[in-house]
Amino acid sequence: MMKGYFITFEGTDGSGKTSVIKEVEKHFKSLGYQVLVTREPGGIRISEKIRDILLGREYPEMDSRTEALLFAASRRQHLVEKILPALEGNVVVLCDRYVDSSLVYQGIARGLGIDEVYEINRFAIENHLPDLTIFVDVTPEVAIARIFKNENREVNRLDLETRNFHDMTYQGYQTLLKKFPNRIVAINGDDTIENVSKAAINIIETKLSKLDGLK
């Protein structure tokens, strides 16, 4: 059986990517695709436990390398337990964050280095990179305002980082756009959720139209 299609969504905290994913899921399910939505860190029992530690506001003392290793460990379990079986079952997987988040947050914003963090994650994911990554491009000013405006949103440990940290994550994504132009596509996240979702859907439809056997 043909493997499915692995799509990841990236963006700074407050970019709105999670809301976009919901609209993308709804659209492609209506067209008859099998769709799985998941997230990182998390997605399965073990990884959700690691998520609690990683994002918990009660752990401000966490070392940067510890943080990078925990993200990679969570990612490995999530990949083998949930993502790979879904892809083997011909499913379109929509994942809220993946390895690019570690390259940006720990590699660039934490100053550990992209290559160093990629090596940690290469061990975790082997050769399993996304088929497509959609970057929801929102400036730090807008993203930070959204974080604290949304009363229903969990404000986690990374949300409370300095403005410089948020600026560095944004610039980190710009670096990845140049580094992986064939895989990562940016869409303007400053627009309404409806328009941002349509932009993502149009990109994905173009990719899926070239494939057979996913429905």
Domains of the chain, CATH where assigned: 5-208 (3.40.50.300)
What is the average per-residue pLDDT within 2-15?
90
Three-class DSSP category at 93: strand
Q: If pLDDT is split at 50, 70 and 90, which confidence band does 143 have?
A: confident
Length of the chain: 215
Answer whether 195's CB lies under 8 Å from 16's CB: no
pLDDT in tens, 146-164: 766 766 666 666 766 777 8
Mean pLDDT along residues 23-49: 97
Whole-number mean pLDDT of the chain? 92
User: What's the Cα-to-Cα distance from 69 to each of 45, 55, 66, 111, 159, rounded to whole Å?
Assistant: 18, 14, 5, 14, 20
Q: What is the pLDDT of residue 9?
A: 98
Residue 59 CA to chain centroid, in angstroms? 22
Model pLDDT for residues 37-95, shown as the tens digit of each residue:
999 999 999 999 999 999 888 888 999 999 999 999 999 999 999 999 999 999 999 99
Nearest to 15 by CA among 212, 200, 210: 200
Average pLDDT over residues 193-207: 97
What is the reported pTM? 0.93
| Two tokens, residue 14 | 């407050």
Give me the pLDDT at residue 57, please. 85
SS3 state of residue 40 = coil
**Phi, psi of 209, rounded to the nearest 5 degrees:** -65, -20
Say if residue 11's pLDDT is above 80: yes
Band the pLDDT of 1: cuts 50, 70, 90. very low
Please compute the mean of the pLDDT values over residues 167-181 and round it to a whole number. 95
Q: Which residues contact 39 (CB under 8 A, 6 or more apart)?
A: 18, 95, 96, 97
In whole angstroms, what is the distance from residue 137 CA to residue 16 CA?
Answer: 9
Beta strands in 115-165 (DSSP E): 132-137
Half-sphere exposure of 174 (CA within 13 A, CB side): 10
pLDDT > 50? residue 166: yes
pLDDT at 151: 64
